Amino acid sequence: MADNAILAEGIHKSYGDKRALDGFDLAVPKGMVYGLLGPNGAGKTTAVRILTTLVRLDGGRAEVTGLDVATRPRQVRRRIGLAGQHAAVDEVLTGRQNLRMFGRLFHLGKKRAAERADELLERFDLVEAADKGLKQYSGGMRRRLDLAASMILAPDVLFLDEPTTGLDPRGRNEVWRSVRSLVAQGTTVLLTTQYLDEADQLAGRIAVLDHGRVIADGPPQSLKQLIGGDRIEVVVRDPATLPATAAVVARVASAEPQIDEAAARVHAPVTERVAALTEVARTLQDDGIAVEDIGLRRPTLDEVFLRLTGHHADEKEDDEKKKVGA
């Protein structure tokens, strides 16, 4: 446990006859963003609720900052922060008043609560909006205020459960910048998300969760290697030339080329990326095959997720999964 901020071993949790977690294992090193990916119903939120002592596990064990969540929940709560899927700030109060209120709720004295509010307003770049009502806050600003509230006690571990859901790109970037700043100052972050690009941007390591258990784990780049690394793509002008193009690509590919007739496209994984691109482009030109586009592309986490789970990360939950919880 010495090098891990979070450790979960064989966690089980059921709601009636539905299993939310089925042998869930996780080890999160200190001082990093660790992404927990999964579709609706995979068990992400249930895992967070157990690790933050909001729900009791049925089996297995879990520790956060070296403390058992089942036997020492009070001590765990003093060392963690949690920002859920919906901002928990008060709409009537200003940003500064919200943070002072949270400080008092965490049993800080009046003076210290005010000092801490000022510190967090500065850290999260909210000083200019500090005394404005929340109706004047953008979605990204509200989310940053919510993050600030979760940091009142400067937690060792911060749990972010789908923190950018519903935000526009600008709001998401604001939250990402705040998360990076927290980690740079030593906070460990467990991030659950359905946005694969979010995990790719923030997480140093990712676990893919499906049907209540982790089915893959590693750095983003390592997970992408599961589906063959870099890919070469060729879009031809005349669909009739697709078979000939596939034959050319096959010479440099590390697996059988795929033909997408609707897009007039041939693609395949390659190992020697630059050499492969050069050879394919030269051969197509020599053979007189007209090309609309040709290039190299790295696999996305969405492709990894689809390969591992058989469905996309944003696939809608069914009625049974809704009973279990995300």
**Distance between CA atoms of 104 and 165, rounded to whole angstroms?**
28
Cα 273 to its chain centre, rounded Å, is 28
Of 261, 150, 162, nearest in space to 202 by CA: 162
What per-residue confidence (pLDDT) applies to 260? 92
What per-residue confidence (pLDDT) applies to 278? 94
For residue 69, what are the contacts with CB-CB under 8 A and spacing of at least 6? Answer: 50, 51, 52, 53, 57, 62, 63, 76
State which amino acid sits at residue 89.
V
Contact 161, 45 (CB under 8 A): yes
pLDDT > 60? residue 316: no
What per-residue confidence (pLDDT) applies to 324? 37
Kindly state the average pLDDT of the residues 28-41. 89
Of 234, 232, 245, nearest in space to 287 by CA: 245
The contacts found for 276-283 with CB under 8 angstroms, 24 or more apart, are: 276/232, 276/252, 277/232, 279/251, 279/252, 280/232, 280/234, 280/248, 280/249, 280/251, 280/252, 283/248, 283/251
Selected residue with higher pLDDT from 241 and 314: 241
**Distance between CA atoms of 296 and 273, rounded to whole angstroms?**
7
What per-residue confidence (pLDDT) applies to 279? 94
Q: What is the pLDDT of residues 67-103, one digit of tens each?
A: 999 999 999 998 998 887 666 788 889 999 999 999 9
In the chain, the domains with their CATH numbers are 4-224 (3.40.50.300), 230-297 (3.30.70.100)
For residue 302, what are the contacts with CB-CB under 8 A and spacing of at least 6? Answer: 196, 312, 313
pLDDT > 70? residue 321: no
pLDDT > 90? residue 56: yes
Tokens (6 digits) for 139 = 């979605």
Question: 325 pLDDT band (50/70/90 cuts)?
Answer: very low
Tokens (6 digits) for 183 = 């980690």
pTM for this entry: 0.74
229: three-class secondary structure by DSSP: coil
pLDDT > 60? residue 3: yes
What per-residue confidence (pLDDT) applies to 317? 42
Computed over every residue of the chain, the mean pLDDT equals 87
For residue 209, what are the contacts with CB-CB under 8 A and spacing of at least 6? Answer: 24, 36, 37, 38, 42, 43, 44, 47, 215
Contact 94, 80 (CB under 8 A): no
Kindly state the average pLDDT of the residues 176-198. 87
Cα 211 to its chain centre, rounded Å, is 17
Question: 116 pLDDT band (50/70/90 cuts)?
Answer: very high
